[in-house]
Amino acid sequence: MRRLAELKPGERGRILEVIAMAESLAALGFIPGATVRVRQRVRGGPLLVDLGESMYALGREIAAMVAVEPEMDCLGPRRGTSQRGR
């Protein structure tokens, strides 16, 4: 298990648990089982993540509160967009 804040640009993770602000993040789609992809990160600053068709800027301290399981994505065709929980 890792934290969303630790993922590098281009890496994906499946959300295991949102530890803080769970309710407000859940409304945006940050729910256990959803897949997020880190698109950009500002050194020492926020992250830009893809979730479904949406893109969110997340403060580092928030991203550190999202537990994820990194997803390997090296094989097979690249999925255009991530999928939410199924």
Amino acid found at 43: R
Per CB under 8 A, the list member of 6, 61, 69, 79 interacting with other proteins is 61
3-state helix, strand, coil in the chain (%, to 5): 15, 35, 45
Q: Is 48 in the site for other proteins (CB under 8 A)?
A: yes
In the complex, minimum distance from the CB of residue 68 to other proteins, in angstroms, rounded to a whole number: 15
Per CB under 8 A, the list member of 34, 36, 38, 68 interacting with other proteins is 34
Alpha carbon distance 18, 22 (integer Å):
5
Residue 85, both tokens:
């929980």
Which residues are at the interface with other proteins (CB under 8 A)? 17-18, 21-29, 31-34, 39-46, 48, 52-59, 61-62, 80-81, 84-86
